[in-house]
Chain A
Amino acid sequence: MEFKDYYKVMGVARDATEAQIKQAYRKLARKYHPDVSKEKDAEARFKEVGEAYEVLKSPEKRAAYDQLGQRRPGEEFRPPPDWGSGFEFSGAGPGNSTYSDFFDSLFGAQARAGRGARGDFHPDRGEDHHAKVLLDLEASLHGGARTFTLRMPEIDEEGRLVSKERTLNVQVPKGILAGQQIRLAGQGARASGGSGTPGDLYIEVDFAPHPLYRVEGLDLSMELPVAPWEAALGATVKTPTPNGTVDLKIPQGSRAGSKLRLKGRGIPAAPPGDFYVVLQIALPPANDDKAKAAYAALAAVLPFNPRASLGV
């Protein structure tokens, strides 16, 4: 496994004081916290920082870590045989984050042992699990079963934290919205005692980008290209909607950006959302003589200055 330089991760000197380490952690945690950060690799960085802080903030762990001496980051590493003797570790750090193999080999068993005792106020019931999934919009529009592959941290027989993959076939409730959670009763962790009720599994939903529709809460919107004469004169055109193709009346004198509302054709929640069609004027290409002549004829009869509002 690779050696990790926790001082480098935190950007502090090897002789940094506790206060300096704390300060560095807070700064980095704010920068990379997955709930606040816009950085691309925020989650991975946050875990790395959390792990480094977990070691460096504890005088015992830090002393033990320092004993390993200085190595190059990434160097092949195996803990010395007498590792950890004379140190007593307790308490676990940032919540349910999974630590690196490096951390686990140094502090694994001891740190995990402290974890169960911390904040477990409901021993008769298994922990709830939470997961996030990306869902296609159709699942919410029409309902239906979807298969999700979730990675769940689990404690194995030897007390190690392992990441287990689990495939679940879930009936997606029709009308679910982004940010809402599906609660699957009894699909969380087993109770620690073995006899209690298992926890629940909460799946928070977000929508994958849809090729046609944009989602805003309950409402859907779509850009519909129309010809200039359809917008100017009014027309009935075919438009796709979540419930199939419909004939849509374009009012006379419509402009680019005009919004047409199809009530109740959004996400089928209670009450259902609306479906908005945003008109886009598509310009026919003038790549042959006939088309050029038609444009020229239009220019000849229409005294039209599209820049009148600019004062030129």
Chain B
Amino acid sequence: MSPSDEPALTGTIVDQSSTLSIKDLSRMCNVEERHIVEFVEEGVLNVVEVRSEWHFTGDALRRARLAVRLERDLELNLAGVALALDLIEELQQLRRELEAKR
């Protein structure tokens, strides 16, 4: 049976409105929860507090995974990761604007 004969898999979009717990995020990035807390304390990740529980968006997942990659591959410390993330996002924004002007 070719794959196209199988019923299509249905997924969900992970986006701004998704809410992920610290447990979800820790599992998805394969780091300890303590490390996610450090990301939040350093301002790498934004968090919404609902009834003393932390909620993260899909955007935080993307940032956290990027942060983990940078830490691991470039041997950056937390402050370096935070700075690199901000600069990468600024660069992406500027590139998008440049692209739109072309």
Contacts and interface: CB of A to CB of B under 8 A. Distances in A.
Interface of A: 26, 29-30, 33, 35-36, 46, 50, 94-95, 119-122, 125, 127-128, 130, 145, 147, 167-171, 173, 175-177, 179-185, 187, 200, 202-204, 214, 216, 221
Interface string B78-102: 0000001000100000001000100
A177 B15 CA distance: 9
12 contacts: A33-B69, A33-B74, A35-B88, A119-B30, A121-B30, A128-B28, A169-B3, A169-B8, A170-B9, A180-B13, A182-B12, A202-B14
Interface string B23-67: 000111011100000000000000000000000001001100110
B99 to A, nearest CB: 8
Nearest to B85: A35
Interface string B1-12: 001101111111
A183 B14 CA distance: 7
B74 A171 contact: no
A214 B102 CA distance: 11
Contacts of B70: 33, 35
A181 B3 contact: no
Contact of B100 (A119, A125, A170, A214): A214
A167 B9 CA distance: 11
Task: Give the interface SS of chain B, mostly helix, strand, loop or mixed.
Answer: helix
Q: Which 9 pairs across A and B sit closest by C-beta, in order of nearness?
A: A145-B8, A182-B11, A171-B8, A167-B3, A181-B14, A184-B11, A171-B10, A169-B8, A173-B13
Given A128-B28, A216-B100, A180 B6 contact: no
Given A36-B88, A94-B73, A147-B3, A203 B28 contact: no
Contacts of B28: 128, 200, 202
Nearest to A130: B65
A294 B75 CA distance: 69
Contacts of B26: 121
Given A121-B26, A168-B3, 10 more contacts: A26-B74, A119-B31, A147-B3, A169-B4, A173-B11, A180-B13, A181-B13, A182-B11, A184-B9, A203-B11
B73 A95 contact: yes
A248 B27 CA distance: 50
Contacts of B100: 214, 216, 221
Nearest to B29: A128
Contacts of A184: 9, 11
Contacts of A29: 73-75
A50 B13 CA distance: 32
B69 to A, nearest CB: 6
A8 to B, nearest CB: 21
Nearest to B3: A167
Contacts of A181: 13-14, 58, 61-62
Contacts of B62: 179, 181, 204
B93 to A, nearest CB: 11
Contacts of B27: 121-122, 125, 128
Contacts of A130: 65
Contacts of A33: 69-70, 73-74
